[in-house]
Structure 1
């Protein structure tokens, strides 16, 4: 038995504060403490400390507690009863909480299942008990046929409870989105990480449950679209419903049984696969997709009927993106007479509270400060402002668009390199122990500089399979706060899953230590570790090579890798301190760091000659 002094003291609820869900009973509480290992004297002292009294209002002495112990035979109680007691008390404590978190609800569900399991054991142990008491699937052979539970089905009670749970936890701006959910078209410009995908996944699920309308989710890639699915499956678990299927078919008691199930489709931005469906659609990160015009024609067609709803939401990219004229209303004014043209104020002041424009589109801007004022306390804004340069902070968190006219790389060229890797790359499985099998990969590493606080970046790419074919970025990682030994160990661990034949490392500063550790004989078997020492000439050559690769669409990555795009766009042409030479620089700090993901990628690209032809090789390649 665990000594009493090692057991934590459970909180003693004040009788006046206990919910009606659990009336405080000193005798029962004393028994519960005893079963947890407390001694009678210790229980009496605890009661005296918290002024726990009997029904008559008198203090409860030690002899009284001792008489309870003997009379109720606490020592003779079976273990299963003691376990049930602990489960019940914890469950009742959670029930008594006025505002429950999602974690509380998950715990309540688990506790309820445990109590049910123990009740089955009790029935089994009683006279006449049978195996069906332990397992519903076995059942009583003499019983009639059991009614099979409906798949992907919500009862009216489950639907009401799910709606209550979620809306009680919403921030004010999410409540505003909920109030405007019946608008025909919504366009929302938002800060990163304020829970938009999370919210709209719930909104769509509730609409499917309550109205039976189909829901269609469009994202930059299939993997990103499946984030909606992950959230929806998690929401349903809160009320005991296990959802499955893709497309996912949902029914509920709130609709007539003869109605067809609501269909939930999770699609990437390949508009050819998106055709032929109809329903409400949610277009995630629409400012970051390639071929927006073509895709939007298909998406709008899905919601042609007046009963369907269209919701566009995204963080801002650049003013050059094809979706920008839709946001400003300029797209509507095309080919219209001047008298029929409209003006839309898309300033933060005009749209912070949401506004219905003359084009009948409801627009809303929610930046990080708006979210903070609306109750979202998930951010330390001052710390973020320290980490990010002013222009990056404005773009990532203050909903300001970027002008990429000064960038060394054009935004539209970069997003054209995005693809749906889960669909298009049949030879790559990120979940496998060997994601790319035994085929060779190249890697590039841009180290963290302790003096500037920059991030470090590791990029892994599949080199071209033939002359002129694309480099495919398979993985990318960003590191912060690691010394050179930790950085080297991280690289070794990640690349152990691949057959890496080339690794380019910036060997300046901290990178020198990383390079020396990885270039040692035996540190990276079969891999040529290249030492890269920056100069104005080398930088210009790297940029020129990367521009050529991007312009010719010879770089490919999953469309959800928005940080790759941001990193390249952040690189700008500038003059050196002397003013005599041209160089390339980017802002310091933040998720884009000093464009570390872009530089790490260029460390890979430079392993191919400028003309894109195969280098003559003087080293042996090991092929498994």
Structure 2
């Protein structure tokens, strides 16, 4: 880099009396060591013995005084001081010199403040006299869960600036008495409605109530809200959470935020806006909805239902289509609602005064959401499953091997009901025995692999609990085996059922070398029929239990259908994608565990077995 040439004329006094300091100053202004040595020779700068200053000496100064390690503020101070000394030593000063001197002195003072602020014990008052004077008096204790007007305005700005187009539609429709939204998976609905509810609580003081199938699912709202508040420096605590703000009179009651799962009955006396998350997947929808509607009876409250679709057999489906309203009404009073995507793609208020909106994954992409690779998802999921999860199509489970309503009854609030299980612990289930099932990845179709960890029944006829689930993609058999070992290391696993077909053969061989209780499962018509028969019995009798928010478990079982073999002579069970079993991977992994208990539900033999 070409350096600026030195100004012509005699060297300053600083050069003559402190060449080391001047060399450092030039270096901090971008000069190289060789250029500095040449500059000193040009101006006959000498050392204290009267001799020339060679390059090696300047290099030694640089290393010894660690010029490269100096902070930027020190370099700026040095430049200011050099310029100040130059102006002070000037005999005849112009008016411009005096103006510059004054400006330089202010700069030196400002840098001194910065140094005090950055030093241990520094504070904002070191930078700003107004802050120092303000803090000089008695300090007021910050209000808990309180937003100032500035914080509220900034939070709302952040929120509105980050919305996709379809979320803007939800915001514009926020004052509708009732909203029902059918949506694709993972388009930011829970995130949006948590933020919307927080803004409403701050601005209006209205209570906000969040309903979900489980407390863990409801607490996702709480986690988002706590994170949002941190954006403007507010630490929210409490459950229920009480919020106040400068936007409302101090004497008004705080807005209450309730996060409810299966404990919804404890809030029956509460009132407020309510948000019903994944309402198409909850058990006992009618009962839940009665409680929810009671909370929002007064006209000032708002009701918001949003969910991915499940099946046409779900009790919430008639609410979506309007058929629930038509029950017990005269023919002349009945209404018709067009719930097609074409009719609801931009949102519409129906004759029942409910605002409905459909947002599938393609709508989300058109609305600015760039989080998906849709082509990859279409390759990963079977057409019917992709349509259900991402295109907002309801499933007709009449052909399924498993009944939807039986499966959703198996959902539970694990945080409340499973006191013996802590997923955050080093050993989540202590040293109690667990069983595992693994359905490997199909290398030809590219389907997911699935691993489940389950607690077997503690008594005859007891419940199987799905403690942990994982889906894998894009791993070879060694990587799959390594992942399974890592998960099993946290448990006392006494049985591992592995589909040893295709890639699974390699996974089985590797696991069998290091893990106990590894059982090879090789599929046949008889084996598959036996697994499904056992699972049907377990589900029908309510002997399966899993976190209610795990809708992918339900979806996986529903996708399994009874069909005929190619020859047409035998019945088998298949799931989508041209007869492949792939996208039911979680269901098959669960069934690999269930089959370790005999069909009659009695204790399995102690010896391990292989199904060939």
Q: TM-score, normalised by structure 1?
A: 0.78
CA contact (8 A) 1:289 1:559 kept: yes
1:103-118 equivalent positions in 2, closer than 5 A: none
Shift of 1:143: 5.8
Alpha-carbon deviation of 1:241?
A: 1.3
Deviation string 1:371-402 (CA, Å, 9 cap, x unpaired) is: 12222222222222222222111111111100
Give the one of 568, 584, 603 matched to 1:579. 568
Q: Which residue of 2 aligns with 1:544?
A: 533
CA distance in 1, matches of 2:32, 2:76: 24
Aligned equivalent of 1:570, options 549, 559, 565: 559
User: Which consecutive unaligned segments of at least 5 residues does structure 1 have?
Assistant: 5-33, 43-73, 86-117, 620-624
Pick the aligned partner of 1:614 from 585, 599, 603. 603
Counterpart among 184, 188, 192 of residue 185 in structure 2: 192
- Alignment: residue pair count: 514
Q: Of the candidates 134, 140, 144, which is equivalent to residue 147 of structure 1?
A: 140
Aligned equivalents of 1:76, 1:445: Cα separation in 2? 57
Q: Is the 8 A contact 2:28 2:75 kept in 1?
A: no
Q: Paired residue for 1:122?
A: 116
Offset of residue 81 of structure 1: 2.8
2:70 paired with 1:81: no
Deviation per CA, 1:91-136: give whole Å up to 9, x if none.
Answer: xxxxxxxxxxxxxxxxxxxxxxxxxxx968605969xx899989xx
After superposition, the C-alpha distances for 1:305-359 in whole angstroms (9 at most, x for unaligned) are 1111000000000000000000001111111111111111111111111111111
In 1, Cα distance between equivalents of 2:29 and 2:398: 72
* 2-structure distance, mates of 1:276, 1:373: 42
User: Which residue of 1 is the match for residue 586 of structure 2?
Assistant: 597
Q: What is the rounded CA distance, in whole Å, between the counterparts of 1:313 and 1:282 in structure 2?
A: 8
CA contact (8 A) 2:213 2:261 kept: yes
Deviation at 1:161, TM superposition (A): 1.0
1:369 aligns with 2:369: no
- Measure how far apart 1:254 and its partner are: 0.2
Shift of 1:171: 1.0
Q: State the Cα RMSD in Å.
A: 3.0
User: Which of 226, 234, 242 is the matching residue for 1:233?
Assistant: 226
What is the distance in 2 between the residues matched to 1:202 and 1:467? 47
SS at match of 2:318: helix
Deviation per CA, 1:532-565: give whole Å up to 9, x if none. Answer: 1111001000000000000000000000111100
Tell me which stretches of 4 or more aligned residues in structure 1 moved more than 6 Å: 34-38, 74-78, 118-121, 129-134
> Partners of 2:475 and 2:260 in 1: how far apart?
38
CA distance in 1, matches of 2:148, 2:249: 12
What is residue 455 of structure 2 aligned with on the other side? 462
Aligned counterparts of 2:260 and 2:76: Cα–Cα separation in 1: 46
1:209-251 Cα deviation digits (max 9, x unpaired) = 0000110111121111111111111111111111111111111
Once the two structures are TM-superposed, the CA of residue 267 in structure 1 deviates from its matched residue by 1.0
Contact (CA 8 Å) 1:570, 1:595: kept in 2 or not? yes
Contact in 2 for aligned 1:120/1:133 (Cα 8 Å): no
The aligned residue for residue 55 of structure 1 is none
Q: Give the distance between the partners of 1:231 and 1:400, measured in 2 at CA.
A: 28
Distance in 2 (CA, whole Å) between partners of 1:559 and 1:245 is: 24
Of 344, 348, 352, 1:355 maps to: 348
1:39 equivalenced with 2:33 (yes/no): no
Q: What is the SS of the residue equivalent to 1:557?
A: strand
Q: Is the 8 A contact 1:211 1:255 kept in 2?
A: yes
Residues 283-311 of structure 1, C-alpha deviation per residue, up to 9 Å, x if partnerless?
Answer: 01000000000010001111111111000
Equivalent in 333, 341, 344 of residue 337 of structure 2: 344
Residues 490, 361 of structure 1: alpha-carbon distance in 2 compared, 3 angstrom cutoff? same
Q: Secondary structure at the match of 1:193?
A: coil
Contact 2:117 2:124 in 1 (8 A): no
CA contact (8 A) 2:211 2:264 kept: no
How has the CA–CA distance of structure 1 residues 130 and 555 changed in structure 2, closer, same or farther, with 3 Å as cutoff? closer
Counterpart of 1:105 in structure 2 is: none
Q: 3-state DSSP class of the match of 2:583?
A: coil
Query: 1:325 aligns to what?
Result: 318
User: C-alpha distance in 1, partners of 2:75/2:520?
Assistant: 62
Assess, with a 3 A threshold, how the Cα gap between structure 1 residues 148 and 539 changes in structure 2: closer, same or farther: same
Written as runs of structure 1 = structure 2, the 5 A alignment for 1:8-23 is: none
Aligned partners of 2:330, 2:383: CA distance in 1, in Å? 40
Partner of 2:519: 530
Task: Confirm or deny: 8 A CA contact 1:221 1:560 kept in the other structure.
Answer: yes
Q: Describe the superposition over 1:175-201 as per-residue Cα deviations: whole angstroms up to 9, x where unpaired.
A: 111011011100000111111111101
378, 387, 397: which one aligns with 1:385: 378
| Contact preservation (8 Å) 1:574, 1:582 | yes
SS at match of 1:157: helix
Alpha-carbon distance between aligned partners in 2 of 1:513 and 1:492, rounded to the nearest angstrom: 14
Distance in structure 2 (CA, Å) of the matches to 1:230 and 1:208 = 16
Offset, 1:594: 2.6
Q: Secondary structure at the match of 1:595?
A: helix
Instruction: Tell me how far apart the structure 2 counterparts of residues 220 and 144 of structure 1 sit (CA, whole Å).
Output: 51
1:248 to 237, 241, 244: 241
Given the superposition, is the C-alpha separation of residues 539 and 308 from structure 1 closer, same or farther in structure 2, using an over 3 Å criterion?
same
SS in 1 for 2:138: coil
- Number of the residue aligned with 2:470: 477
Q: 1:415 aligns with which of 402, 408, 426?
A: 408
**Secondary structure of the residue that 2:249 maps to in structure 1?**
coil
Decide which of 276, 281, 286 is 2:274's aligned counterpart. Answer: 281
Counterpart Cα distance in 2 of 1:442 and 1:514: 17
Structure-2-length-normalised TM-score? 0.79
In structure 2, the residue matched to 1:11 is none
Distance in 2, matches of 1:478 and 1:425, equals: 23
